[in-house]
Structure 1
């Protein structure tokens, strides 16, 4: 991803339940779920259900912290509807994480069949910058569909995201 593209991104987001904030603080940040499981750390209110976690493990997506471009994501909605998340918060992540080694991008929900991850530096052409960061007419069906697709995109970080890069961790 080019430096000018990174400059377009005011922040990234990670959704979680507020009941997880204390653990995130104790651990010093956000870890990939596979690493938490390896360390036998139980997340109080995981966002993913067993099917989602199995798909993450099968596709290698459990080794990443999952981020999105907007403070909305269809998987957060599903997690709330299913009752896995009762009091959600979208943690604000500094875009400098895009420069971490091994960051990937998916043009859709990462554990969905057929969605392939690409290195973040190859993602510019796959990101609909206009619909993400420009005021548009959301009632237009075509624009609405573009926005829905953009909401599903994920940035995958293969390591700890430290607390100092989480803007609103103290507000939970």
Structure 2
């Protein structure tokens, strides 16, 4: 993964949430996975997922991870906004150094999809189309557009908790 980060100059990755959750993030000293929030007894937050996606996360055992995106326009946010689950979305900018830590996994599609598998950083280098995410390509070409649409669904799964010091900024979504 280090080669991919260097090749494309990836300095940060992204997490979207409801703006009102920022208070809870500060109070808890960082971002928590859904499972960690439950274990801490945190109930005052607005989740992005619905009950179906939370059930799928638990079934796939990915509720123990914080779900991150390589770019600040993951397609799930579009769905969540359309359904009205998040009223004021914000994107949290996370230092890319977290990608080198232990027990970080990746998926080349939405992580709770039936056929999604957790990938190591080495496997992710091969399975995720980083070129179409970060290099200049002709997005009007139907083949490239399809590749990009698929690659945009990839996720980074960070275990349990991201310390607030790794959150470098935020912007409205």
**Superposition TM-score, scaled by structure 1 size:** 0.93
Deviation at 1:4, TM superposition (A): 1.9
Q: Which residue of structure 2 lines up, in the alignment, with residue 54 of structure 1? A: 55
Give the unaligned 5+ runs of structure 2.
none
Does 2:104 correspond to 1:97? no
Q: What residue in structure 2 maps to residue 6 of structure 1? A: 5
* 1:14-163 equivalence runs, <5 A: 14-163=15-164
Find the aligned partners of 1:121 and 1:141 in 2 and give their Cα distance: 28
SS at match of 1:113: coil
For 2:130 and 2:112, the matched residues in 1 are separated by 23
Distance across 1 between alignment mates of 2:118 and 2:21? 27
Q: 1:43 to 1:57 in 2, by over 3 A?
A: farther
Higher helix fraction: Structure 1 or Structure 2? Answer: 1
Q: Distance in 2 between matches of 1:80 and 1:57?
A: 23
Q: Does structure 1 conserve the Cα–Cα contact (< 8 Å) formed by 2:36 and 2:161?
A: no
Counterparts of 1:39 and 1:166, CA distance in 2: 20
How far off is 1:43 after superposition?
4.3
Deviations 1:77-99 (A, max 9, x none): 11111111011111111111111
Aligned residues: 170
Deviates more, 1:116-125 or 1:24-33: 116-125
- More strand as a share of residues: 2
TM-score by length of 2: 0.93
- Answer with 38-47 or 48-57: which moved more: 38-47
Taking structure 1 as reference, are residues 43 and 149 closer, same or farther at Cα in structure 2, changes over 3 Å only? Answer: farther
- Contact preservation (8 Å) 2:12, 2:95: yes
Q: Gaps spanning 5+ residues in structure 1: where?
A: none
Q: Deviations over 1:69-125 (max 9, x none)?
A: 110111111111111101111111111111111000111000010111112232111
